[in-house]
Amino acid sequence: MTQRYQRRRARRLKLVVAVALLASSAAIVWLTGAISLRFFLSDLEVRKDAALAVQSGALERLLDKFRLMTPLTARRPDVADVVERRDAEEGGRIAAIAAGMSGAKEVWFLSPQGETIATSDASTNSGALLGRQWIPKAFREAAMGQLGRQLIPGNGWQPASYVFASPIRVRDRLAGVVAVRVRLDDVEQAWALSKDALVALDENDVVVVTNVHDWRGTTLRTDTAPGRGAAIDLLRAGGHLGRFRLVRPAQQAGGRAFLELREDLPVLGWKVVILSDVAEARTQSANAMLIAFLLCVIGAGAVWSAVERREGLIRRLRSDRAAALRLERRVRSRTIDLTRANQRLEAEIEERLAAEAELRRAQAELVQAAKLATLGHMSAALSHEYNQPLAAIRTNAENATLLIARGEPERATESLARIGGLVARMAEIARTLKGFTRRAGTDLQPVSLRQAIDEALLLLTPQVRQQGIRLTTRLPDGDLVVLAGRIRLEQVIMNLVANAIDAVRGREDPAIDLDVDVADGEVRLSVADNGTGIPEVAMGQIFDPFFTTKDVGAGLGLGLSIAYKIVHDFSGSLTAENRPEGGARFVMRLPLAQAVRTAAE
């Protein structure tokens, strides 16, 4: 019942975690989309605002040129003379020159009544009432002494034009009017290079200039009540996204959204509008949401993995607790059995005391077993490093006993001395094991490499002979002295050779080569075997603690990691490689003691 409840509780926990992960992931993805969309729209706004400033500036500069040109032309004496004399031929010549030099579409000289005196366009008849019929607003303002302005609307096939009009005065009397008609299709041609829709609106929101030909002369509205009179609503409201105003073409009910930006032209009373497609910003926002979704998937996977590991740990703890309860019941059962046995053997006091002592011993063993279970890894590590010295101590102790029995105390003393050396070696090994978590000491001294090799091989010779291994050593003439710790150096050599012995175990012709050479002020000691070699996948972990390629129970994986740490403390290096002909080779490099002293000097 309890296990069923615990399983249900674990399932509920997983369900809660899954729902929380889904909800948080959805919230993160949504927030990422909202924030990134505003960010990319802001970037789009900055870029398009700059483009709008350039395009509106081009329109304003064009019109401003003719706004200044018109009154200057009206003040010319020859123009006043032509108007006063009504000289159509001379006036036409002056008007044509002014139009050609300025780039205006037409230049008109009009009488105070609005009749055409002269024009730059030869097709326009003199005497036509252009002032009152074509440009009544501009003509009326000019006749009142102001700078007249009037838009001549365009349509789908003809661009709009703009007219400036200025009075011509002779002796403070209105002698006529100069009108300059400006073509706006040059601006439209420049705007046609832009991929965004550009619209210039007058004070009544009528489209004056645009790079969308179908919009000429129409009314641009962005409200939600289309169709006022005969006007055509080009845009409908697309809503606001924060501070951004979005619109959609009215002809496309489900069309794309555009970002609307406006800039006023106060001199003309116009507005220039740019409509930029926000599809790029939405695509970038979608990419950001996709990245956020992938990150959420990775994070959710990590959290789910942690939940699974936690559940596995809980299961292991429950299993350990159940095992402890079973052990407790077993102890309790044994205690009851012993109690009953004591009741049956009341007459036999000595046996009862022995049974009680046995019970105490069993209980002590159980307590001790629990303690040893906690210290299992440490005991295994010590056992791994102490096996060989302990075997040597036992052998020398037995030899010393036999020698004393034979009456050879001198040789027995030698065996006992070797035991003392092995004990010192074991103490050094213990300090080396401790060095995994604490930096090793700096007590280095000159050590004979040949003597260290001899001492290490002395302990391993019985194993070499027992397995029939061909052990070949190649040492240079003379002794080599390195800066190291003697006991730790012997321990490294023993470990490398012992690993080689394990590697060639079971081979038909087992062989181990130990070579020493000197180059560039350092000693190179290599131990090679003809075993199976090191798997490539394990090459990067070969010196990691508790990593081993041996069978389960054949080693703890501490030997090479300890050796690597020792050699590193000697300012040396230890590497491993596979031989081309088969087997593995471990290479230890140590600086010569003489080279170290020379470098220090």
Q: pLDDT tens digits for 286-315? A: 887 888 888 888 888 888 788 778 778 887
Does residue 81 contact residue 201 with C-beta atoms inside 8 Å? no
434 near 564, Cβ under 8 Å?
Answer: no
Q: What is the per-residue pLDDT across 527-561, written as a single tens digit (0 to 9) for each? A: 999 988 888 888 888 888 776 766 645 555 667 88
The pLDDT value recorded for residue 229 is: 34
pLDDT average, residue stretch 478-504: 89
Compute the mean pLDDT over every residue in the chain, rounded to the nearest whole number: 77
User: 8-29 burial, b for 16+ CB within 10 Å, e for fewer?
Assistant: eeeeeeeeeeeeebeeebeebb
Tokens 């050879």 -> residue: 408
Q: What is the tens place of the pLDDT at every residue in 381-391?
A: 345 456 777 77
Main-chain phi, psi angles of 221, to 5 degrees: -125, 150
Q: What is the pLDDT of residue 200?
A: 81
Q: Is the pLDDT of residue 225 over 60?
A: no
The 10 Å Cβ neighbour count of residue 109 is: 31
pLDDT at 234: 56
CA distance to 342, 348, 355, 367, per residue, from 351 (Å): 8, 6, 6, 24
pLDDT of residue 155: 64
* pLDDT at 228 > cutoff 60: no
pLDDT tens digits, one per residue of 89-130 = 888 788 888 888 877 888 888 888 878 888 887 666 555 566
DSSP 180: E
Alpha helices, H only, 345-375 = 349-374
Across residues 489-509, what is the average pLDDT? 89
Q: What are phi and psi of 533, to 5 degrees?
A: 85, -175
Does residue 152 have a pLDDT over 90? no
What pLDDT does 498 receive? 87
**pLDDT tens digit sequence for 458-486:** 778 778 888 899 999 999 988 899 999 88
Closest CA to 274 of 332, 183, 196: 196
User: Which is higher by pLDDT, 139 or 369?
Assistant: 139
Consecutive H or E run containing 471? strand 470-474
φ, ψ for residue 219 (rounded to 5)? Answer: -100, 135
Res. 232: pLDDT tops 60: no
User: Of 117-126, 171-180, 403-412, where does mean pLDDT reach its minimum?
Assistant: 117-126
Q: Indicate if the pLDDT at residue 517 is higher than 50.
A: yes
Please give the DSSP secondary-structure letter assigned to residue 583: S
In this prediction, residues 14-43 reach a mean pLDDT of 80
In 540-583, DSSP assigns E strands to 573-578
pLDDT of residue 482: 93
Whether this model's pTM surpasses 0.75: no
Among 279, 103, 275, residue whose Cα is nearest residue 198? 275
The backbone region for 344, taken as left when phi is positive above 0, alpha when psi lies in -120 to 50, beta otherwise, is: alpha
Of 138, 94, 142, the C-alpha closest to 120 is: 94
pLDDT-derived band of residue 378, with 50, 70 and 90 as boundaries? very low
Higher pLDDT, 491 or 130: 491
Q: Stretch 425-430: mean pLDDT, rounded?
A: 65
Q: Tokens standing for 584? A: 């593995």
Q: Is the pLDDT of residue 321 over 70?
A: yes
Residue 237 pLDDT class (50, 70, 90 cuts): low
> And the tokens for 435?
């060095």
Distance CA(218)–CA(213), nearest Å, equals 10
CA distance 504 to 6: 51
Contact assessment for residue 456 and residue 487, using Cβ atoms and an 8 Å cutoff: no
Residue 575 makes CB contacts below 8 A (sequence gap 6+) with 586, 587
* Res 524 pLDDT > 90: yes
Say how far apart CA 59 and CA 211 lie, in whole Å.
Answer: 13
Winning range, highest mean pLDDT, from 65-69, 140-144, 353-357, 491-495:
491-495
Helices first, then strands: H and E counts in the chain: 14, 18
Give the per-residue pLDDT at 131: 61
Query: What is the arithmetic mean of pLDDT over 80-95?
Result: 83
Q: Are strands 522-529 and 584-591 parallel, antiparallel or unpaired?
A: antiparallel
What pairing do the DSSP bridges indicate for beta strands 148-152 and 161-170? antiparallel
Is the per-residue pLDDT at 211 higher than 90?
no
The amino acid that residue 375 corresponds to is: L
pLDDT at 491 over 60: yes
